[in-house]
Structure 1
Amino acid sequence: MASRITAKGLAEATPAARDRYVDLLRVASLGTVVLGHWLMAAVTVAEGDRRVEMGNLLAVQPGLQVLTWVLQVMPVFFFVGGFSHALSYRSLARRTQGPVYAVFLRGRLQRLLRPTGVFVAVWGGGALVVQAIGGEGETAGVAARLVTQPLWFIGIYLAMVAFTPPLLRLHQRYGWAAFAALVAAAAAVDVLRFVAGVPYAEFLNFAFVWLAVHQLGFLRADGRLRRPALLAGGGLAGAVALVGLGPYPLSMVGMPGERISNMAPPTLALLCHGMWLVGAVELLRGPGTRLVARPRAWRAVVAANGIAMTAFLWHLTAMLAVYAALLAAGVTPPVPASTAWWAQAPLRLAAAAVVTALLVTVFRRAERPPATGPTATRRLGGPVAAAGVTLALLGVLGLSLVGFGGLWHGHTALLVAVPVTAPAAVLMTVGGWGLVELAARVRAGHDARHGMLEE
């Protein structure tokens, strides 16, 4: 049974032709994001009313923002996603007769939305109970909104899944020109935004910027990233020029209160940053490949891949739990970025890691791919699957914005220009997932072992 498969067994069963370095990049990029979120949290307690405030270390110490040019590694994860999606879609097309789009979407949504669904159910249910009994104070409300913010990543990733088949066809026909077209589109959007002042145009770069990075994964899958130094150098030079001469901020992550963000919506500067990072990790491919060739290191990577999504979903919950425990014990956090704050940082990070490990132990089962066989579900086709994944990704993005605060009061947030509530976002996600399930007909011979290793 799939539940009995161990990391050691999976590692030993790894095909010789598998690109293990890609798996290492996936784990390392998510791990860096988690560590960055833990470290950037700047919790303070007001002296007068003892009100707890959640800030950002990069706002307290702006000089540290330059570190985001190395530590903002989400583009690497999306690059790895492009590589994996290209291989997976082609493999599925070879093994499946007829259209495969709905089947491809179904497999990806299961891997992403099963652990996400558990997270939403636990946090949403808990928030409803707390708010029903009148226990939601200002601090609890901030926490209920904060924990959903990383869900934006899942929404964007679902968009990449949805666009994989058509963009893969463009890649197969045009190669680097398809990537260049996405870069040009991202640049055009920034011109419309900053020069022409066209309202809402900037939101198009949620697609163009991240899909361009994703497209680099297609090129990697076909062995066409032959000059990583040129990609890294060009991307870095472009980012430096745009930040130095244009309206783009230094930080490659979002900052509280900033008028312009490189992240939300993404900018051409962030795309150049992504190109620099992709080129850089490709330059490290040799030593990275040698590292994961070692059995012990590869077992660690396989084990981490099996829990990565669960850890990502729950890592902010763990961080909040650590700070809540400190405050409950009467420990006032030091002033952010002070000597005492930095001295305590290793202990806070270690505590957050321990709590995350406990949460992973409880919730990791949802991340295991289900061992499904053939069903009698009617295949309704690609258009229904496309509508379903669109509904699901909009629901996840909406939930990332609105959070779980003010559920009984109908708290809303703007998704582009449309107000959305948490219940509506959840219904959109579940409804979209259901449409994809209806559109796909699962075939016999699903291999849980292959699924756990695939992504």
Structure 2
Amino acid sequence: MENNTMSIWSQASQLAAQTPENRNRYVDFLRALSIMFVISGHWLITTGHYLPASGDIQPILALEVMPWTQWLTWGFQVMPIFFIVGGYSNAISLESAQRKQLSYAQWLATRLHRLLTPLLLLVLFWVLLSFGLGMSSAKPETIRFLSRAALVPTWFLAIYTMIVLLAPAAHRLWRRWGMPSLFGFIALAALTDIAFFVLDWRWAGWTNYFWVWLAMHHLGFAWRDGRLGGTLAMLGLAALGLAALVALIFIGPYPLAMAGSPGEAVSNTLPPKVTLVALGLFQFGLLMAIEKPLQRWLSRLRVWTACVLVNSMIMTIYLWHMTVLLVVLAAGWFLDGFGFHTAPGGADWWATRPVWLALLTVLLVPLALLLSPLERVSRPADAPLPAAWRLVGGAILAGAGITLATLLGFDGAVASLKTTGTIALILGGGWLAGLAPPLPKRG
């Protein structure tokens, strides 16, 4: 294992040394940083407490038992940054595709391959595990809880896949209208919230999955084109975002937590609210204000090698981190609550958090090393190119299946219509999108 790790570090170091001078290393750094924050946040807020009377481990959400931790979500909710980074990366990819005169289908097939291929393995693993648990007489509600918790990371891929479908059109909109197009998406997000709260059009709130994240994605276009200004301008952007966020929460109808809202009738994330735009502007402004010194830091070979290494397995790390957490909870249950006797929230519990995070990291790293090659496998050059309608339709079906899996989970019953329907959507969508060979033609 040690030799394998050294070999992987050596390969990453070689790639790092070959990095072109014109590459914006800060983009890769923010991608890695945002995912690390998401994973750490999930691991901190999700834990368990052993109940001797029943012999069970009760799942605990720190945001519920320690309401003050809701403030921490202002730092750990960094999905706006990930969408901004996605916008920057997609802009580069689209510019390259335009130079090479690639079609929409050629561009999209490659992007979907990278997004959906690692995801299918996670889904198949939990499908098989849920069926196995079902045959072992585990309770359906237990199986649903476990699978839903494990698939929490996939909600992001569902909406990000939809944003990727729209990226070429959004990029053309940016090229034509520039900053007004960004302001337009922010305005649509705000108007949607007005309809949600004032007119009680709750259904309209779900459209903010597009307006909020397209706004953040568009901000990545602005970054790519150098339309953001210098350090003072970015500090001003951060101040504006923070002022808007404070006003929306303490004067407006929005809850404090930026990741789930325990005990609240309204959530900032389900569906997204304009508060996430304000949070994204605040975080992004601060990060842009310190870009220059961090760019110099990233020029160091060892630092940049670490960044390259994390980015080479970033999808695997993100997708499997909750599965690792659930494995540890299950192990604690088998070991009569070992490690979970301390009630969450006390000084002793907080003192053990570094050990908790270190344990989960130690378990996740070898899993990532084992599975991450899947996300680095390029789409075969001779693979048949699906028509654009197949790619779009497949991505939509897969996205719908991912959403259902996140909301409903799997119940372990082979004959369950919910489970089989969800699986059919994900696998069928993946096949339509070209992630499996086309069916042979008759005759």
Common fold by TM > 0.5: yes
CA drift of 1:138 comes to 5.4
1:347 corresponds in structure 2 to 355
1: distance between equivalents of 2:435 and 2:413? 30
1: distance between equivalents of 2:402 and 2:63? 27
Task: Structure 2: give runs of 5+ residues left out of the alignment.
Answer: 1-6, 439-443
Instruction: Return 337-346 or 42-51, whichever deviates more.
Output: 42-51
1:423 aligns to 2:415 (yes or no) = no
8 Å Cα contact 1:333/1:341 also seen in 2: no
Instruction: Return 162-171 or 284-293, whichever deviates more.
Output: 284-293
CA drift of 1:164 comes to 0.4
SS in 1 for 2:49: strand
1:327 corresponds in structure 2 to 333
1:262 aligns to 2:268 (yes or no) = yes
Residue by residue over 1:312-332, the C-alpha shift from the partner in whole angstroms, topping out at 9 and shown as x without a partner, is: 111111112222223322324
CA drift of 1:277 comes to 1.1
Q: 1:270 and 1:212, CA in 2 relative to 1: closer, same or farther beyond 3 A?
A: same
1:52 corresponds in structure 2 to 57
SS in 2 for 1:437: coil
Residue by residue over 1:88-124, the C-alpha shift from the partner in whole angstroms, topping out at 9 and shown as x without a partner, is: 0110121135xx2112221111112111111111121
CA drift of 1:139 comes to 4.5
1:237-276 equivalences under 5 Å are 237-276=243-282
1:229 corresponds in structure 2 to 235
2:196 corresponds in structure 1 to 193
1:167 aligns to 2:170 (yes or no) = yes
Residue by residue over 1:278-310, the C-alpha shift from the partner in whole angstroms, topping out at 9 and shown as x without a partner, is: 111111211221111000001100010011110
8 Å Cα contact 2:147/2:410 also seen in 1: yes
CA RMSD of aligned residues (A): 2.3
1: distance between equivalents of 2:275 and 2:238? 14
Task: Structure 1: give runs of 5+ residues left out of the alignment.
Answer: 412-420, 442-455
| Aligned partner (choices 33, 45, 54) of residue 40 of structure 1 | 45
2: distance between equivalents of 1:149 and 1:38? 12
TM-score calculated relative to the size of structure 2? 0.91
Q: 1:48 and 1:198, CA in 2 relative to 1: closer, same or farther beyond 3 A?
A: same
1:308 aligns to 2:334 (yes or no) = no
1:356 corresponds in structure 2 to 364
Q: 1:132 and 1:336, CA in 2 relative to 1: closer, same or farther beyond 3 A?
A: same
2: distance between equivalents of 1:439 and 1:143? 28
Residue by residue over 1:44-74, the C-alpha shift from the partner in whole angstroms, topping out at 9 and shown as x without a partner, is: 2334323332121121111121121122111
| Aligned partner (choices 113, 116, 126) of residue 123 of structure 1 | 126
SS in 1 for 2:59: strand
Q: 1:358 and 1:439, CA in 2 relative to 1: closer, same or farther beyond 3 A?
A: closer
Residue by residue over 1:330-353, the C-alpha shift from the partner in whole angstroms, topping out at 9 and shown as x without a partner, is: 324311111121121111111100
2:219 corresponds in structure 1 to 216
2:3 corresponds in structure 1 to none
Residue by residue over 1:127-173, the C-alpha shift from the partner in whole angstroms, topping out at 9 and shown as x without a partner, is: 11221231347555422221011110111110111110111011001
2: distance between equivalents of 1:133 and 1:201? 42
Residue by residue over 1:70-94, the C-alpha shift from the partner in whole angstroms, topping out at 9 and shown as x without a partner, is: 2211111111000000110110121
The number of equivalent residue pairs is 426
8 Å Cα contact 1:110/1:369 also seen in 2: no
Higher RCO structure, 1 or 2 (CA under 8 Å, sep 6+): 2
Q: 1:91 and 1:197, CA in 2 relative to 1: closer, same or farther beyond 3 A?
A: same
Percent identical across equivalent pairs?
36
1:449 corresponds in structure 2 to none
